[in-house]
Structure 1
């Protein structure tokens, strides 16, 4: 059987990613021999003889393509090469880091399932209800932000749990909570919001009339709900992979994500190759496992036809909530823009909030409010540009769903942090690299939404009438299809704006985005970690702003979501916009 366009695209994209990882020593634009020499001995002069010796030692004289072939051949034999910095075999380091990360992800998944179960149980008991705004808010909080708050409260203020290291089970608690709470909020919201519509279907009424127990009905309803949602569950697991990089960094956990980040910063490219390849394989395996479980749950009868859920009810929010959040953000940002974010005054370093410095000062005596306001301008502005590019790409790719589906699968398997590490290894850390990393993987949800709308509009009866009266394809495209698709996808893109801003902040937090002294939100959080115990307000200020932004996204989505006219588009929109 010949592979379809989606399969071909998937293979091409996967080969491209593997080639990019294999050619990192050459794509970085730096002389690999010079990088190795600096890593081995920073004092040694980079003479021609010394560089030639390094090239001979590593086999770099053959050039990029033979080096890529050697790397791929080593992969097939289970050999990831040796570290440029330590000279040790990479495979044991990657395996050790992977074991730690898998243990952390397992505990995080347990936390997520417990939280999701607590959100779903009331709906199963009452047969109605919703996960509500609380679950949506939890799902919108980024892992690195929750990790910082958990470190501050549970580790520093209360002293209940260790704040770093990996010595015993107690070291897992705070990182697992930081990873598991957002994932559990999202899983619980997806299932709990879909259950009321399923419990209102005709078969449930018939089963109750026949005397079937409530437990059997609940189990059957869950089995009915899970298959359409499993692709989203797979994306949640991939999110755990990406979020683990930031959480491992916050708590100094020696996992595979922290290993990859450290290799990128030290330019140990072979170790970076092995770590990124492992993370990519973990994401692809997770997605494939979710697809396999979905097929088993559907069974042979529905496997090819698929199964869709009745539309879920959106999260409700009072109109005053987004207005209040937007006003608070606007006042804080506007007030900060009126102040100087770069002036250093060491005499007032780590000063508490006062009238002169309403949010205190940082470790260099710079005004936190000023840096918060100016950082918002750059972060949100960059996010808006990414949003616009993703929207334009989605409107084009939405007409080519069979071709772009494979590329979307690969993009969905790559969290922003992993792409950010790769881009930083090639172009160096910076705002442009972080924006490129987020843009490369932000288009699939919008493209899937556009494709669903294009399919529905093309199948509508009024377009059949237009063709019957002789309307040209260009007329139909510009006067009917595009206007019907552009408005809802544009609203979807606007709802994704805060999420893109949070992704940029996470890259800045990891040192992959904006660099000091830029006043970027993620960078502010990273800089404040060193003195979080002495000056918690410096860390809490950007954390609260990010939480307000997430709350604005959730409450704004509840008020601006509009229902498409037909059931098929409504279900498609709920599937791609509801998360």
Structure 2
């Protein structure tokens, strides 16, 4: 495991070290433009830069010198600023860790608010029969971080003057960027926790505690503790994402964080800074993954070892089909009304006009119809996002079944922000319309693989699986008929929750010049292009954001319909490979097939003692 993790880290660092040569550009020219854009790139100037940086020695020698200096604690000096790399990376990492801590606090509060209805009903024993949660968190899931950051900075920071909007000088400067990062992350975590709570409240200990009159708050706390191990791997990935992937928020609020430093070094091809910053992200990802695994073992380690867990994924009630149809109909209506319009037609006399009969969504800064651009952008944005999400789901589900192989790979891939992945893909394959799709697919499967591995590990430690195995069922039978039917629905729901984020990542990479270029009507480009006019023409940002929020609501409500199907009592033969058993009455189902004991039935009680950690009132 350690050897595999080391090899992956070395491959990533070496790939970044070769980035200037893979991108087929002269590193000396890029460094010159980063240092002084007005200076002429004469052959003499470029030759002097190459001699000073040792570029003629080749990438392998440069990489060797960097690794040698790293062993002595000196990763070199910046090619652009000429300052030492290590102090700059350490300072940026400290700022990013502080921002990450604030964002995690906001995410925890947001997740608690999302799960509050389920906790309140479950603690009182009234969660049974509850359908999938509403779509209130869908807006937070779908809103892009840079848009939330821009609104908070301009409205709260500038217009209201309540909190500082720019800089990084104390705790007050942490509030707005922490809100911009923590609200979407907390909404995703809250939806995932809300998905697990019904199974926790249906376990025997929760029913026994409710029957004995245990305080609802104690039952709710233990239910959260029961569900947290399934979320810990993704929580570790959020830690890395909030540190290295907060590039847009750090840019807007002028925060000297590690994500911003790494992106600037990648654009300037400042290899010493880029390699050191990436290595810091990889080490942070490995540490976060290790802490998540240790915490999971501390919480439910004995139950995993003894196979004493109950499955949290049970057949659910029928999903509400009205909401997905409503949101899907609204989105289809927007696309249908806008397709006949020309998204590229310019009208300089109609710049930044408000909504009207001629332009229902108004116009942008060039006089183009926003309804047409939103509608035409939906075709490319949604189509590519669906394809990327499907590929990420398939890859994550398969690799999640192989935790020894995928664990170190997830820790390494999760340390690479989508922007940096886009630069690497563009360096290898060149910039093109499919570059963002490949780059996002490279990193989008990691959260799904971590989620799959966590759920599989817990499902294999359940009592009904142990009983089925005791009857002689083989591994293949258990995987097909027990593990996959319980694990795949929540992973599919997780993939749908991330669909709006995938669409945003694709558009953000296109805006950086790694894919579709203006005047393409991609949704992310619409938001980025119209962001400077948010105060003067708020509709230019409001309607593209509303379309994205509508996509999020559709994804969240559709995710609620992916449920584990109910099992019917059948007069079936024993599982393939099962030992012969005595005849049973017609219509009966063995306990191993039911996956339940007497204590699992509604109204049944277990031992008179309360579950461990649950206090009697």
TM-score strictly above 0.5: yes
Superposed CA offset, 1:328-375 (max 9, x none): 222222333322222333332222222232222222222222222222
What is the alpha-carbon distance in structure 1 between the residues aligned to residue 393 and residue 119 of structure 2? 38
- 1:348 paired residue number: 350
Q: Deviations over 1:469-493 (max 9, x none)?
A: xxxx9xx9xx999x99999798986
Partner of 1:176: 178
Further displaced range: 141-150 or 29-38? 141-150
Residue 394 of structure 1 and its aligned partner are, at CA, apart by: 5.9
Q: Does 1:34 align with 2:36?
A: no
Q: Contact between 1:166 and 1:253, CA under 8 Å: does it hold in 2?
A: yes
Relative to structure 1, the CA distance from residue 400 to residue 434 in structure 2 (aligned partners, 3 Å threshold; closer, same or farther) is same
2:56 to 52, 61, 72: 61
Alpha-carbon distance in 2 for matches of 1:108, 1:228: 21
CA deviations 1:303-322 (Å, max 9, x no partner) are 65688663357798642222
Q: Superposition pairs for residues 479-490 of structure 1, below 5 Å?
A: none
Change (3 A) 1:40 1:253: closer
Shift of 1:176: 1.2
Q: Distance in 2 between matches of 1:443 and 1:545?
A: 25
The residue that corresponds to 2:504 in the other structure is 502
Deviation, structure 1 residue 547: 0.7
The worse-fitting range, judged by mean Cα deviation, of 402-411 and 546-555 is: 402-411
Shift of 1:546: 1.0
Structure-2 residue corresponding to 1:310: 311
Q: Within 1, Cα distance between the matches of 2:527 and 2:266? A: 20
Query: What corresponds to 1:51 in structure 2?
Result: 46
1:187-246 CA-partner distances (Å, limit 9, x unpaired): 333444434433443234555677866665554444333223322322332332355222
Distance 1:308 1:272, change over 3 A: farther
Report the secondary structure of 1:443's partner residue. Answer: helix
**116-125 or 288-297: bigger deviation:** 116-125
Cα offset for 1:178? 1.4
Counterparts of 1:78-89 in structure 2 under 5 Å?
A: 78-89=73-84
The answer for the alignment partner of 1:238 in structure 2 is: 240
Q: What corresponds to 2:574 in structure 1?
A: none
Q: Separation in 2 of the partners of 1:446 and 1:533? A: 38
Structure 1 pair 509–28 and aligned structure 2 pair: CA distance change class (3 A):
closer
Number of the residue aligned with 2:8: 13
- Distance in 2 (CA, whole Å) between partners of 1:432 and 1:442 is 15
- Mapped to 1, the partners of 2:20 and 2:257 lie a distance apart of 23
Q: Deviations over 1:514-566 (max 9, x none)?
A: 33222221122111122221111111121111111111100111124443758
Shift of the 343–540 alpha-carbon distance from structure 1 to 2, 3 Å rule, reads same
3-state secondary structure, aligned to 2:434: helix
State the 1:66 CA deviation: 1.3
TM-score by length of 1: 0.80
SS of residue in 1 equivalent to 2:561: helix
Between Structure 1 and Structure 2, how many residues are aligned?
Answer: 550
Contact 1:267 1:425 in 2 (8 A): no
Q: Which whole-Å CA distance do the structure 2 matches of 1:226 and 1:244 have between them?
A: 25
CA distance in 2, matches of 1:49, 1:312: 68
Q: 418, 421, 426: which is aligned to 1:419? A: 421
Label 1:123 to 1:11 Cα distance change in 2 as closer, same or farther (>3 A): same
With over 3 angstroms needed to count, the CA separation of the structure-2 counterparts of 1:214 and 1:535, relative to structure 1, is closer
Give the TM-score of the pair, scaled to structure 2: 0.76
Is contact 1:197–1:310 with CA below 8 Å preserved after alignment? yes
CA contact (8 A) 1:345 1:364 kept: yes
Alignment correspondent of 1:332: 334
Q: Contact 1:22/1:68 (CA < 8 Å) preserved in 2? A: yes
Unaligned runs of 5+ in 1: 468-472, 569-579
- Cα separation, partners in 2 of 1:169 and 1:141, compared to 1, 3 Å: same
* Matching residue within 376, 379, 397 for 2:378: 376
Distance 2:61 2:594 in 1: 54
d(CA) in 2 for partners of 1:108 and 1:245? 14
Q: 1:115 and 1:409 mapped to 2: Cα distance? A: 25
Retained in 1: the 8 A contact 2:134–2:557? Answer: no
CA distance in 2, matches of 1:281, 1:329: 42
Q: Which runs of 5+ in 2 are unaligned?
A: 568-592, 596-617
Higher mean alpha-carbon deviation, 559-568 vs 19-28, is at 559-568
Give how far 1:68 is off: 0.9
Q: CA–CA distance in 2 between the matches of 1:395 and 1:384?
A: 16
Structure 1 counterpart of 2:255: 253
Structure 1 contact 264–424 (Cα < 8 Å) conserved = no
Distance 2:156 2:517 in 1: 29
8 A Cα contact 2:313 2:487, kept in partner: no
Corresponding residue of 2:282? 280
Comparing 444-453 with 60-69, greater Cα deviation is found at 444-453
Give me the whole-angstrom Cα distance separating, in 2, the residues matched to 1:73 and 1:230: 36
Gap change, CA 1:88 and 1:492, over 3 Å in 2: closer
Counterpart residue number, 1:403: 405
Closer/same/farther in 2, CA of residues 30 and 46 from structure 1, 3 Å limit: same
Q: Which residue of 2 aligns with 1:298?
A: 300
Further displaced range: 422-431 or 56-65: 422-431
Q: Which has the higher helix share?
A: 1
Distance in 1, matches of 2:47 and 2:307, equals 59
For the structure 1 residues 529 and 426, does the alpha-carbon distance in structure 2 shift closer, same or farther, using more than 3 Å as the test?
farther
The 3-state SS of whatever aligns with 1:382 is helix
